[in-house]
Amino acid sequence: MPATARPQQADFAAEAAQLMLRLGLAIILIVVPTGAIYSRRLLFTLVPVGVAMILLGALLAPGRHALLPSRQVMFSPVVQALVLLLAWAAFSLVWTPFQGLALERYGKTAATVALAVAAIFMLPGRTRTSNLNLMPIGVGIAALATIAVAIALPPELRELPDPEGTSIERAALGLVVLVWPALGALAVRERWASAGALAVATAGAATVVWVPAALTAMVVSALVFSIGSSNPRRVSKMLVVICAGLIVLAPALALLAQHFLAGRLPPAVAVWAQPYFLWAELIRMEGWRVLTGHGFDMTVRGLASGYLPAFTPRSLLFEVWYDLGIVGAIATALFVSLGLLAAGRLPVPAASFMLAGIVCILVVAFSGLATMQIWWITLICISTISFTCVINAHPRTARPAARVMPDAPGRLRV
């Protein structure tokens, strides 16, 4: 083979790899957020297709050996905490009452997480600007489409005819989560005016659709972003104390709330507190079940079968404790804490945007609007892939300052 043919083949392979990567990211970051307005099935169908294209692009790349995850990444504390949480959830399938349904749901959850991890490991170490622009483009199109659909449809028809029960409210919730990596992509390029317009469009979509939990999550995460912009490491440590404390001490807080507030609240407020009073009663009746939990997927199946009352708490805090017990709660708190600390160590401004994105996800999960549903797990995976692209686009080094050199003897000064 002539020597000149090898560089040409390498160029063709590199162009094909970039094309497949861009198509995969476009499907995940543009098509999925907009398509979620009309059908939830697109979320489950297109995300694996997009990940497959990313993996194919990594295999076609001439330097694909450099894309394999390093030993340091594979055995990082965050990955180990995630493996621990998934392993305990798998072990709890032994004693869950609905083993068949729980095993099916666990398989889907684990497969979704595995696809996201594979896509993250196969992303190139440097994100091109053209790929970085896909995030704000996708969120912007989805926000405008959500506003248009919300205005065009009357309130009684906002539940679109989908057998999976997809609603425009779920699409607005996805926008609130995905807007933070999109804003980070614009911030890396210092497009602050575009970032402000995108944030306004997303807030407008959540307001027109009227999803109070999504608006609350966006306000809280915006507050975290504004505080964390100056010192993200310190803010990440503060968030670890708050979030990990809520996860680990949630049952104690429910017991204290019932002891001091039961029978003393106005009727309007007591309705909101009743689920947590029920949680306190369940804690007293469970005994050793607090240690192991009732098994993965028990909360969802218990509500569907009538085993649990309709006013059972829908928060992630209750679901983790009731399904996985104290071991699962500690593993969840560890995973969240390590993720927050890792985000705080990122360069500015990527650190503040990622802290805001994590807090946004936690606020939604703690409120009970979305906890462990497959569509929600998939949305978190898309957000993680997006943040990885933003981190890889951030400058690795700073340009050194120019030094003034003294003129050599006899050299003319220009």
Q: For the residues 78-103, what does the mean pLDDT come to? A: 93
Report pTM. 0.88
Q: Are 366 and 316 in contact (CB under 8 A)?
A: yes
Rounded to whole angstroms, how far apart are CA atoms 167 and 150? 11
- The per-residue pLDDT for 410 is 47
- Give the long-range contacts of residues 71-77, CB within 8 A, separation 24 or more: 73/121, 76/342, 77/338, 77/342
- The per-residue pLDDT for 103 is 95
- The per-residue pLDDT for 166 is 47
- The per-residue pLDDT for 157 is 54
pLDDT above 90 for 60: no
Q: For the residues 135-142, what does the mean pLDDT come to? A: 95
**pLDDT tens digits along 96-123:** 999 999 999 999 999 999 999 989 888 8
Q: For the residues 128-157, what does the mean pLDDT come to? A: 87
Structure-token match 């000149």, residue found: 4
- The chain-wide mean pLDDT, for the chain, equals 85
Higher pLDDT, 157 or 395: 395
Higher pLDDT, 223 or 393: 223
- The per-residue pLDDT for 64 is 55
- The per-residue pLDDT for 388 is 92
Q: What DSSP letter does each residue of 193-210 carry, written as one string?
A: HHHHHHHHHHHHHHHHHT
**pLDDT tens digits along 275-329:** 888 888 888 888 778 889 999 999 999 988 888 888 889 899 999 999 999 999 9
Q: Which two tokens stand for residue 124?
A: 């190139």
**pLDDT tens digits along 233-272:** 999 999 999 999 999 999 999 999 888 887 778 877 777 8
